[in-house]
Amino acid sequence: MTKDPIRSLRVQSGSALRLARHATDATLGWEKQSAKAELEKVKQRIDVLQARLAAEGSRGLLLVLQAMDAAGNDGTIRAIFSGVNPAGVKVTSFKVPGGPETQHDYLWRVHAAVPGKGEIGVFNRSHYEDVLVVRVKEFVPKSVWSKRFDHINAFERLLVDEGTTVVKVFLHVGKDEQRERLQERVDDPEKRWKFRAGDLDDRALWPKFQAAYQDAIRRTSTDAAPWYVVPADRNWVRNLAVAKILLHTLEDMNPQLPPPEDGIVGRIVE
């Protein structure tokens, strides 16, 4: 395979994305054992570039992860960032808003969690919940959520203009695969804590969620802040795909080590 399959996962701005046409069990031409070995190499590269990004100290990188339950936001984060310096990575998991979050607009808590200069920020769920679950479950009327695509595009544009690279990933899991994973959560005592009865309510609304995801991705995949649709039925494909998306993004940013202070090169430390 000569063409990098990652390119084909990117949703072009203005595209008429059809999620149903994207296989959730695709292998992207990869094979399991070599993909796992390649993930280790990709992680090492990410670690090197993360260190440079931190040293450069002038730009941030935000990775947004969105998915249906059990598609693997948590597992992806664990797989990609184990081995990357935790001091430079900030993960934020967005839950149902509570406390002061409910007293502000929906972007308030999100903006506060955006990575600082030199940081990689990962959003495990995000402001997109406010045009996904909030839309599907009718927590606010259409007159309210429908305006949010424009807010989100403007917000992400602001981040990019001010030095934060934004990349967004939808982990695309199949309905059958989700059933198996949710069943495993019910059956396995180590995983049971992750299961909420409400997950089944969301599952029952599957077609509406897919439609909402499709619409949100279409309307917010911009050149400045693109979406990628990653097949997520196989964890090893998902992990390598997201790791490569992150690596490519870092390579494009091409962070530079700061120049040394004058007179340092060649100094002998006594």
The pattern of x and - marking residues 34 through 63 that bind ligand AMP according to CB under 6 A reads ------------------------------
Sheet holding 164-172, edge to edge: 10-11, 227-231, 164-172, 60-67, 120-124, 89-93
- Determine the interface stretch with ligand AMP among 84-92, 93-101, 231-239, 253-261 (rule: CB under 6 A): 93-101
Residue 95 binds which of ligand AMP, Mg ion, none (CB < 5-8 A, kind-dependent): ligand AMP
What is the Cα–Cα distance from 165 to 249, expressed in whole angstroms?
A: 8
Q: For the residues of 77-107, what is the DSSP string, one character each?
A: HHHHHTTS-GGGEEEEE--S--GGGGGS-TT
Q: Enumerate residues 56-85 that contact Mg ion by CB under 5 A.
A: 69
Nearest of 63, 65, 82, 81 to residue 73 by alpha carbon = 65
Compute the Cα dihedral for 122, 125, 126, 128 and give only its sign. positive
Q: Min. distance of Cβ 73 from Mg ion in angstroms? A: 9
Q: Min. distance of Cβ 34 from ligand AMP in angstroms? A: 31
- Determine the interface stretch with ligand AMP among 13-21, 90-98, 237-245, 253-261 (rule: CB under 6 A): 90-98
* Among positions 67, 120, 129, 237, the unique one binding ligand AMP when judged by CB under 6 A: 129
C-beta separation of 22 from 222 below 8 A: no
Q: What residues make contact with ligand AMP under the rule CB under 6 A?
A: 69, 94-97, 125, 129-130, 133-134
